[in-house]
Amino acid sequence: MARFFSASDIVGTAIEIERRGRNVYSKAAAAATNPDVKSFLEFFAGEEARHQAIFEAMAGRIAKIEVPAGSDEEEYMDYVQALLDSHALFCGGAPEKDLANASDAIAAIELAARFEKDTILYFREMMDLLPPAESGIVKQCLDEERGHLRQLTKMLATLRRSA
């Protein structure tokens, strides 16, 4: 049986992902010159803030988690850490720097799509680590992140057609 460990790091990271995502969307919206793109990015900033609040509430409810049955705890946690180390909001330079280097709305939306995909992967793993009542909440956020990725992809297609 796998050892138990604190859930605070797992949920705390989800909070940080959402906080950083909100900041990136807010800065991208502030820099946007196209009013449609601006309101689109402001919507996403609000979504990230809402998810952050969900995970902050969750942090107070759970104390222990267990790696999935049949998993080696050290290897599994190395995998989760690798997900974070490669997440667009955590690796390399700060996402704000990446955003500042984005040449236009298309580049900003492409960056957003990358960190949404990375967040989907992290949330999927989170679901396996949490009690069933909490994993259902994470699944709801995961489904919303999938919807965000679809919306971003549609916006990219629209921007590319008009470029």
Question: What residues contact 7, with CB distance under 8 A and at least 6 apart?
Answer: 59, 62, 63, 64, 65, 129, 130
88 vs 109, higher pLDDT:
109
Alpha helices, DSSP H, located in the chain: 8-31, 35-59, 73-85, 95-100, 105-129, 132-162
Domain count, the chain: 1
pLDDT bracket for residue 101 (50, 70, 90): low
Measured distance CA(17)–CA(23) in Å, rounded = 10
Residue 135, domain extent? 4-162
23 vs 50, higher pLDDT:
50
57 vs 24, higher pLDDT:
57
On whether the CB atoms of residues 112 and 96 are closer than 8 A, the answer is: no
Tell me: the pLDDT tens digits for 38-94? 899 999 999 999 999 999 998 888 766 666 677 777 777 777 777 777 777 766 655
Q: What's the pLDDT at 32?
A: 83
Q: What's the pLDDT at 42?
A: 94
pTM reported for the whole predicted model? 0.82
CATH code (residue 22): 1.20.1260.10
pLDDT bracket for residue 1 (50, 70, 90): very low
